[in-house]
Amino acid sequence: MILPFDPLIVILGTPAAAAALLAIIPSYRVGAWFNVLACLITLAAAASLFFAERRADDFLLIDDLNIVFIVLNAFVGFTTSVFSAGYIAHELESGRLTPAHLRFYHALFQVMMFGMNLALIANNIGLMWVAIELATLTTVVMVGIYRTHEAIEAAWKYFILGSVGIALALFGTILVYMAARPVVGEGLDGMVWTVLIKHVAAFDPALLNVAFVFLLLGYGTKVGLAPLHAWLPDAHAEGPTPISAVLSGLLLNVALYAVLRFKLLLAANTQAIAPGPLMVLLGLVSVIFAAFMLYRRRDIKRFFAYSSIEHMGIITFAFGIGGPLANFAGLLHMTMHSLTKSAIFYSVGHIAQVKGTQKIADIRGLTETHPVLGWTLVLGVAAIAGLPPSGLFMSEFLIITSTFARAPLLAILLVLGLLIAFGALLWRVSTVAFGEPTGSRAPTKALYLPMFAHLALVFTAGIFLPPALVAWFQQVAQSLG
Amino acid sequence: MNGYVFDTAHLFAGGLVLVSFMMLYQDRLHALINVFALHAVVLSLSVAWQAYTQAAPHLYVTVAIAVAFKVLVIPIALHQMIRRLGIHREIETVVGIGPTMLAGMGLVALSMMVMLRVTPEADPLAREDLAFALAVILLGLLIMVTRRNAVSQIIGFMSLENGLILAATGAKGMPLVVEISVAFSVLIAFIVIGVFLFRIRERFDTVDVHALDRFRGERR
């Protein structure tokens, strides 16, 4: 099918143009809805990719793998912009932000979307690196936007660790180019992913191995894998909640996508080390570490940030195990986690606003004071904990069964981590949602639609997945090897 | 392979590692900034030499950026900044000089062992460049972890980035080098502006455990 427009130009051009316009729109209300509109256009263009032809040139690439990421990115970006429109007005009323800040915030939101879309579409590993750096930089600024001592501390930590991560990733990228140069020749070709994957079998395996270690550590820092995760909880807790939602739901995925692309390169070279075991190790460490850390959290946003580390660990683990079934489960889990976690953050954002605190100890009896918010939080946590019938139950079940068939010991460790995290999640949500109510009972002016939409999708997916989607994911899972 | 082409490139790349070592033991901020400027000078010479021998005129843009930005603008701005922040007399001693130097030597040995072993096929120039570059990167990381002051952490990061530029220019014909050096300059400008605007002095202003607990939201 031939589209009357080029979806790639829309996907990249809309956020870029919107960022420029939002920077000059003085009214924050107009800005917020314009932000929503821009995200909607991007989403429509992203959805049209399903019908667009696959293509690859020196800089841009569309294949089955990245369409999944782009559509997910555009969808969560859109719902977050809707949530943000309702959320941010309250921040203005409470005086935490000024209209000038909001103008800046909306423009940066679009710059961030641009960076993430570019990273996902890039066919050039150098361009992908630059795009991820851009997305990181904008989120750093957004994390520090409240300018409190804590927020600046968090932004600084994120900045330093993120910069070291991207520096290591760049060194890995240079090494990949060095490995490619003797085979594909000098110049641009040596950085074009589709060219690399075609010739990777002839690359020097030793150089590729070292490159992958740097890339995994570099981009792994951004995924938030365990020994490199230190920036993540602070950045989630201190920034505005819409940013926590996109960090967890999107930016971590984008970094994981970069790791996957390089994993594919390594897997196609038979003499290089198998990338799987390294990813399994990092993933497992993240799951178990985060599961234990969940028990000690006192801040609700920080609590869910650790849950994100756990889930990114599960996804990395699944892709590390590999094979059609585990890859399928990994893709499904990634999609479900993005939807559920952002829904939880939407809910938590309103809760923190109405209660005026993020401390878990000060929030009790939510289902009584704010039934809608309380129950969406309960549902979201039930989903993220992997209770049936949520989509996460299905994906976790698939990951565990496929691992059991191949490496039972690893599966047992994973189950252990999941159970520990499960306990922490239920324990915390029971204190927050039930019990003697505390704090303000004031009604919220929340816009519930984004969280309802996400949770509905997650629970529907647990019961029924459209065959077309299953076929699509299976095809992608096959290509992931 | 021309003997002198190789030797000169080797001289500059090795010089960069040496200057990285010099940074390790500077305990005064002004001196550290001056040594960093020297680091950037050596990097510019190295990149200029690569541009000349590879006949790659676009690399001169990278040289120009390095000279203008890292030799002049950033050091001058940092000198001003530490005076404004009132931290120019501070002396940093987080880890002793002896252990730091030993760790630095270990890192250089490590990078030689890793890079020279895995690149026997590559041409010798790129190979040695890569090994030196990795050494500079690791030394930059070492500077960052042994310092607590935000300004010296930035300097550590910039020296790390110099190592990356060295690697990128050593990889013959690598595309996007100029773009990457521009992207890095933007990043660093952001950091410097951020530090100045928010007067960040240290990663944690205090070693008071209670303050840290509050910061992590651990306290009830």
Tens digit of each residue's pLDDT (9 = 90 or more) over A47-58: 988 887 788 888
The pLDDT, as a whole number, for residue B203 is 45
Q: A372 to chain B, minimum CA–CA distance in Å?
A: 26
What one-letter code names the amino acid at B216? Answer: R
The pLDDT, as a whole number, for residue B200 is 63
Q: Say yes or no to pLDDT of B206 above 50.
A: no
Chain A residues within 8 A of B199 when measuring between CB atoms:
none
| Residue with the two structure tokens 């994993």 | A263
Could A207 and B215 be called an inter-chain contact, meaning their C-beta atoms sit closer than 8 Å? Answer: no
The pLDDT, as a whole number, for residue B34 is 94
Q: A150 to chain B, minimum CA–CA distance in Å?
A: 6
CA gap A351, A367 in Å, rounded: 11
CB within 8 A of B183, min separation 6: which ones? A130, A133, A134
Could A160 and B118 be called an inter-chain contact, meaning their C-beta atoms sit closer than 8 Å? Answer: no
Helices (H) and strands (E) in chain B, counts: 9, 0
**Closest CB to A178 among B122, B137, B141:** B122
Kindly state the percentage of chain A with pLDDT values over 90.
53
Q: Is A318 a domain residue?
A: yes
CA gap B191, A140 in Å, rounded: 10
Helix axes B150-170, B29-53, angle to 10 degrees: 10
Q: Is the separation of the CB atoms in A310 and A425 below 8 Å?
A: no
CB atoms within 10 A of CB B4: 9
**Closest CB to B198 among A152, A164, A174:** A152
Query: What does the radius of gyration of chain A's CA atoms come to, in whole angstroms?
Result: 21
Band (B209; pLDDT cuts 50, 70, 90) = very low
Band (B104; pLDDT cuts 50, 70, 90) = very high
CA gap A20, A414 in Å, rounded: 46
Q: Say yes or no to pLDDT of A252 above 80.
A: yes
CB within 8 A of A85, min separation 6: which ones? A32, A33, A35, A36, A447
Could A160 and B153 be called an inter-chain contact, meaning their C-beta atoms sit closer than 8 Å? Answer: yes
Six-digit token string for A335: 């999609």
The pLDDT, as a whole number, for residue A388 is 85
The pLDDT, as a whole number, for residue B122 is 65
Q: Is the separation of the CB atoms in A436 and A307 below 8 Å?
A: no
Q: Say yes or no to pLDDT of B93 above 70.
A: no
Q: Is A197 a domain residue?
A: no
Return the residue of A nearest to B56 by Cα.
A187
Q: B219 to chain A, minimum CA–CA distance in Å?
A: 7
Helix, strand, coil percent content, chain B, rounded in steps of 5: 75, 0, 20
CA torsion, ordered B193, B197, B198, B203, to nearest 10 deg: 30
Q: A216 to chain B, minimum CA–CA distance in Å?
A: 16
- pLDDT digits over A280-301, tens only? 999 999 999 999 999 988 899 9
- pLDDT digits over A32-47, tens only? 999 999 999 999 999 9
Q: Say yes or no to pLDDT of A226 above 60.
A: yes
The 10 Å CB-count burial string (b at 16+, else e) for A300-314 is bbbbbbbbbbbbbbb
- B172–A contact, CB cutoff 8 A: yes
- pLDDT digits over A117-142, tens only? 999 999 999 999 989 988 998 898 88
What one-letter code names the amino acid at B219? Answer: R
Q: Is the separation of the CB atoms in A75 and A42 below 8 Å?
A: no
| Residue with the two structure tokens 């033991």 | B25
Q: Is A4 a domain residue?
A: no
Strand segments, DSSP code E, in A249-340 are none
CA dihedral over A302, A304, A308, A310, signed as positive or negative: positive
CA dihedral over A395, A401, A407, A408, signed as positive or negative: positive
The pLDDT, as a whole number, for residue B210 is 41
CB within 8 A of A396, min separation 6: which ones? A314, A329, A333, A386, A418
Q: Is A314 a domain residue?
A: yes
H or E, element range at A61: strand A61-62
Query: What does the radius of gyration of chain B's CA atoms come to, in whole angstroms?
Result: 18
Residues 168-207 of A with CB under 8 A from B: 168, 170-171, 174-175, 177-178, 181-182, 186-188, 190-191, 204, 206-207
Q: Is the separation of the CB atoms in A252 and A380 below 8 Å?
A: no
Q: What is the mean pLDDT of residues A197-224?
A: 91
Q: Is the previous residue joined to A227 through a cis bond, with omega within 30 degrees of 0?
A: no
Q: Say yes or no to pLDDT of A435 above 90.
A: no
The pLDDT, as a whole number, for residue B212 is 42
Write down the mean pLDDT value for chain A: 90
The 10 Å CB-count burial string (b at 16+, else e) for B36-72 is bbbbbbbbbbbbbbbbebbebeebebbbebbbebbbe
The pLDDT, as a whole number, for residue A357 is 86
Q: Is A265 a domain residue?
A: no
Q: B186 to chain A, minimum CA–CA distance in Å?
A: 10
| Chains A–B, number of C-beta pairs less than 8 Å apart | 126
Q: Is B131 exposed, middle or buried (0-12, 13-18, 19+ CB in 10 A)?
A: buried
- A137–B contact, CB cutoff 8 A: yes
H helices present in B147-217, as ranges? 150-170, 177-198, 209-216
List beta partners, residue A124: A192
The structural domains of chain B, with segments of one domain joined by +, span 3-216
Q: Say yes or no to pLDDT of B213 above 80.
A: no
Domain assignment of residue A434, given as a range: 274-481
- Give the HSE-up count for residue A397: Cα atoms under 13 Å, Cβ half-sphere: 10
- pLDDT digits over A171-206, tens only? 999 999 988 888 888 888 888 999 999 999 988 888
Q: Is A453 a domain residue?
A: yes
The pLDDT, as a whole number, for residue B207 is 33
Residues 82-141 of B with CB under 8 A from A: 114-115, 117-119, 121-122, 126, 130, 133-134, 137, 141
- Among residues A437, A400, A406, which one has the least CA distance to residue A418? A400
Q: Is the separation of the CB atoms in A215 and A179 below 8 Å?
A: no
CB atoms within 10 A of CB A1: 7
The pLDDT, as a whole number, for residue B121 is 67
Q: Say yes or no to pLDDT of A413 above 70.
A: yes
CA gap A457, A58 in Å, rounded: 36
CB atoms within 10 A of CB A223: 30
Indicate the number of domains in chain A.
Answer: 1
Q: How far is CA A326 from CA A253, A280, A411, A451, in A?
A: 17, 12, 12, 28
Q: How far is CA A180 from CA A201, A202, A269, B68, in A?
A: 10, 9, 12, 33
Residues 84-113 of A with CB under 8 A from B: none
The pLDDT, as a whole number, for residue A417 is 95
